[in-house]
A = this chain, B = another copy of it.
Amino acid sequence: MLWSVSSRSQEPASPVRRLLLDEAARVLAEEGPAALSARRLVKAVGASTMAVYTHFGSMPALVREVMREGVERFLGRVDAVAPGTDPVLELTELCRVYQEFARAEPDVYAVMFGGSTLAGFELTQGDRQMGVALLRHPRDAIRRCIASGRFRADADADLLVRQLFVQMHGLAQLAHAGYILGIYGPDDVLAGLLRDFAVAAGDDPERAARSVRSGLG
């Protein structure tokens, strides 16, 4: 085809791997999981189907790479939340960035947490470990809530962070599926969940409401 053109290029050989990953992420974000296929990706980058297998081994393995990079973006957002003097506010902000990521990249999010099989991809135990790592930051925030006296001293941070995880995941998925209908939207439900979470953990209702409002505004 274009041998002469490629030889003209002084750059290092085409990083086909990166091109495929970027195109996969783009298609997934812009057109959804149904549009993601090996043949389409290789056509977009001007390669043959073999490119997928030399660089990734299989389509599920390519999807796994896309997911791993999604996890890194997710971790980047979560770690950007700085601790402050109000741990309930910090917890609220963590949940806010969680929902923001799920809304920004709903299909990558769905792959990360098992909501989508996507071309036969299935989560490995290692994948799940990576997802669980996201809970460390919120768990520490809950511990600070306990240490600061906002939450009861006998509260169990490990159980509470799982409860919070369940709530964030359920909200993200139901909102994406269009199941949060009627007068209350996802943001209303999020505010209610966070306030009730803090109150049940022992926080003063008024103070909890103020921290949540501040963290979501």
Most buried by B among A165, A169, A197: A169
* A116: contacting residue among B116, B160, B182, B201, CB under 8 A: B116
Across-interface contacts of A188 in B (CB, < 8 A): 159
* A200: contacting residue among B123, B180, B197, CB under 8 A: B197
- Complex-state Cα separation, A170 to B193, whole angstroms: 13
- Complex-state Cα separation, A176 to B188, whole angstroms: 27
The answer to whether A128 and B173 touch (CB under 8 A), given A166-B193, A196-B197, is no
Interface residue total, chain A, C-beta cutoff 8 A: 47
CB distance from A151 to the nearest CB of B (A): 11
Across-interface contacts of A184 in B (CB, < 8 A): 158-159, 162
> Could you mark each residue 163-187 of chain A with 1 if its beta carbon is under 8 Å from any beta carbon of chain B, else 0?
1011111110110111111111000
Q: Do A189 and B163 touch (CB < 8 A)?
A: yes
Q: Do A131 and B196 touch (CB < 8 A)?
A: no
A199 within 8 A of B: yes
CB distance from A3 to the nearest CB of B (A): 40
The A112-145 residues at the B interface (CB cut-off 8 A) are 113-117, 120, 123, 125, 128, 131-132
- Chain A residues near B (Cβ < 8 Å): 33-34, 110, 113-117, 120, 123, 125, 128, 131-132, 158-160, 162-163, 165-171, 173-174, 176-184, 188-189, 192-193, 195-197, 199-201
> What are 18 A-B pairs at a CB distance below 8 A?
A34-B117, A113-B177, A113-B179, A125-B178, A128-B178, A162-B180, A163-B189, A163-B192, A163-B196, A165-B170, A165-B174, A166-B167, A166-B171, A166-B180, A166-B193, A195-B200, A199-B199, A199-B200
